[in-house]
């Protein structure tokens, strides 16, 4: 029974500048360490091959060092690595693939499918029909030639392509690099391994997108996995098992705080995340000053626990209670300032007023804790 791993969209060399100099490079490195885990998994499962359906690299211009590091990351699995160019790393006349070969960086067990022709892996029990991109975008279906390609009848017919299955995915990506949704049937394929869509998605029993193995967007689309594929014999239905492989989950939350129990639930939710993650959190509603202090403590703790925590508080109003103001000993002029900032949160510049109120209340608490009169 031939068995292989199907993965795609590694996009090695991708930069995450939005996350700053501490977290951005760590996310870039995570894409390489995930490849190392794929290699280790391939060796552990003793698969016959690893198929990578395009966008191995994020751009044609990444450094020679990164090119070498990628191929070094494959070392744990010494079986065939079958790699297809995608739109980010298309097989141009002069490309990252020609550069990798000049660098002598490509190991002997890595098979670069740079031309649309059948590759036989008789020892492993299958033939591969590739549809490499030789330019970033095309409006023709590059898998069409599969229909008429001849392969030995005893071998599985495995297609590998990078593009958008027509009429299935979102309309905004359904024009470049089109793929016929009936291609597996028309070309008598036992399996069609696809890349380009960054989430894990089954198109039919024989057509799958593996998605990127290292999540890179705030979407709940099954990213962070690869496919473990087993096929008994030509014509048999594939047995496909998604396997989680990514390092950092990306979580996007929007929560409303209206009563004290809402804050309790949010803090418990943050504390219960077991894996270091990339979190984008938006809060709205209202909070008293005591709750604000608890929230800031929880956010600080979460920032230390996770790779990235972005939070947005513009729609979260601070509403000091009478007890809050009394505890701050904000009488006289300071009391008037607190009340003015509370009221200004209703205006257009509510975010600034909210921040100022938070800073003022924090300073007042610090002064009282240190015994300094307000």
**DSSP conformation letters of 302-354:** HHHHSSEEEEEEEEEEE---HHHHHHHT--HHHHHHHHHHHHHTTSTTHHHHH
Position 317 scores a pLDDT of: 82
Q: How far, in Å, CA of 363 to CA of 374, rounded? A: 9
Tell me the pTM: 0.85
pLDDT for the residue numbered 166 = 82
Parallel, antiparallel or unpaired: strands 225-230 and 3-7: antiparallel
pLDDT tens for 245-294 read 999 999 999 999 998 899 999 999 999 999 999 999 999 998 888 888 89
Residue with tokens 């494959």: 74
Indicate the average pLDDT of the chain. Answer: 89
In terms of C-beta density within 10 A (0-12 exposed, 13-18 middle, 19 or more buried), how is residue 174 classed? middle
Residue ranges of the chain assigned to CATH 3.60.21.10: 3-244
Q: Whose structure tokens read 């509603």?
A: 285
Per-residue pLDDT of 131-143, as tens digits, reads 999 988 888 999 9
**pLDDT lower than 50: segments of the chain:** 172, 174, 368-369, 371-374
Instruction: Report the candidate in 195, 200, 307, 273 with the shortest Cα–Cα distance to residue 243.
Output: 200
Q: How confident is the model at residue 360, as a pLDDT? A: 63
For strands 250-257 and 278-287, give the pairing.
Answer: parallel
Give me the architecture of the 3-244 domain, per CATH. 4-Layer Sandwich (3.60)
pLDDT at 3: 97
Label residue 139 exposed, middle or buried (CB < 10 Å: 0-12, 13-18, 19+). exposed
Angle, helices 350-369 vs 289-305, to 10°: value is 90
Question: Cα(317)–Cα(292) distance, rounded to whole angstroms?
Answer: 10
Where would I find the beta strands (DSSP E) of the chain? 3-7, 49-53, 81-84, 110-112, 119-121, 126-131, 156-162, 164-165, 178-179, 191-195, 201-204, 207-209, 225-230, 239-244, 250-257, 278-287, 308-318
Q: What tokens does 105 get?
A: 């960086």
The predicted structure's pLDDT at residue 244: 96
């Amino acid at each position: 029974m031939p068995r292989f791993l199907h993965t795609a969209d590694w996009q090695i060399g991708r930069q995450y500048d939005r996350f700053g100099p501490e977290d951005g490079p760590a996310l870039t490195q995570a894409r390489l360490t995930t490849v190392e885990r794929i290699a280790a998994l391939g060796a552990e499962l003793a698969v016959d091959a690893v198929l990578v359906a395009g966008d191995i690299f994020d751009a044609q211009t990444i450094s020679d060092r990164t090119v070498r590091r990628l191929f070094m990351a494959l070392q744990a699995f010494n079986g065939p690595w079958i790699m297809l160019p995608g739109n980010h790393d298309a097989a141009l006349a002069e490309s990252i693939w020609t550069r990798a070969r000049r660098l002598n960086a490509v190991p002997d067990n890595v098979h670069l499918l740079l031309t649309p022709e059948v590759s036989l892996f008789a020892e492993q029990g299958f033939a591969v029909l590739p549809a490499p991109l030789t330019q970033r975008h095309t409006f023709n279906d590059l898998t069409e030639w599969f229909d008429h390609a001849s392969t030995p009848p005893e071998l599985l017919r495995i297609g590998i392509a990078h593009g958008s299955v027509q009429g299935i995915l979102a309309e905004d990506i359904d024009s470049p690099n089109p793929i016929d949704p009936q291609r597996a049937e028309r070309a008598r394929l036992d399996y069609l391994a696809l890349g380009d869509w960054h989430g894990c998605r089954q198109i039919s029993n024989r057509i799958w997108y593996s998605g990127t193995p290292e999540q890179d967007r705030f979407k709940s689309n099954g990213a962070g996995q690869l496919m473990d594929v087993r096929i008994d014999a030509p014509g048999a239905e594939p047995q496909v098992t998604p396997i989680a492989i990514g390092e950092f989950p990306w979580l996007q939350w929007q929560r409303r705080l209206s009563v004290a129990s809402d804050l309790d639930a949010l803090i418990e939710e943050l504390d219960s995340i077991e894996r270091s993650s990339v979190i984008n959190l938006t809060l709205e509603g209202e909070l008293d000053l005591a709750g604000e202090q608890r929230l800031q403590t929880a956010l600080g703790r979460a920032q230390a626990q996770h790779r990235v925590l972005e939070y947005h508080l513009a729609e979260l109003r601070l509403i000091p209670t009478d007890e809050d103001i009394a505890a701050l000993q904000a009488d006289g002029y300071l009391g008037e300032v607190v009340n003015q900032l509370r009221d200004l949160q209703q205006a257009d510049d509510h975010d600034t007023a909210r921040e100022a109120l938070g800073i003022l209340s924090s300073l007042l608490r610090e002064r009282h804790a240190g015994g300094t009169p307000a």
